[in-house]
Amino acid sequence: MIPVPPGMFVFPCFATKHEAPTLQEEMSYFVTGTDTGVGKTLISCALLHAFAAQGKRVAGMKPVAAGCDEDGQNEDVKQLRAASNILASLGQINPYSFLQPVAPHIAARNAGVRIDLARILNSYRELASQSDVVIVEGVGGFCVPLNDTQDSADLALQLGRPVIMVVGMRLGCINHALLTALAISDCGLKCAGWVANVVDEGMPALQENIEALERRVGAPLLGVVPYQEQPDVRAVAAQLNLALLAEGSDGISPDTHD
Q: Is 78 a catalytic residue?
A: no
User: Whole-angstrom Cα distance, residue 94 to residue 105?
Assistant: 16
Q: Which residues are within 8 A (CB) of 229 and not within 5 positions of it... i.e. 6 or more apart?
A: none
CB-CB contact of 250 with 185 (8 Å)? yes
Among the listed residues 176, 185, 245, the one whose alpha carbon sits nearest the alpha carbon of residue 212: 176
Taken in order 167, 245, 118, 150, the sign of the CA dihedral is negative
User: Whole-angstrom Cα distance, residue 16 to residue 188?
Assistant: 9
CB-CB contact of 37 with 231 (8 Å)? no
50: helix, strand or coil: helix
133: helix, strand or coil: strand
CB-CB contact of 206 with 167 (8 Å)? no
β-partners of residue 225 are 197
**Which residue in 56, 62, 78, 190 is the catalytic one?**
62
β-partners of residue 169 are 198
User: Whole-angstrom Cα distance, residue 177 to residue 180?
Assistant: 5
User: Whole-angstrom Cα distance, residue 204 to residue 85?
Assistant: 39
Give the largest CA-CA distance in the chain.
52
Which residues have a catalytic role annotated? 62
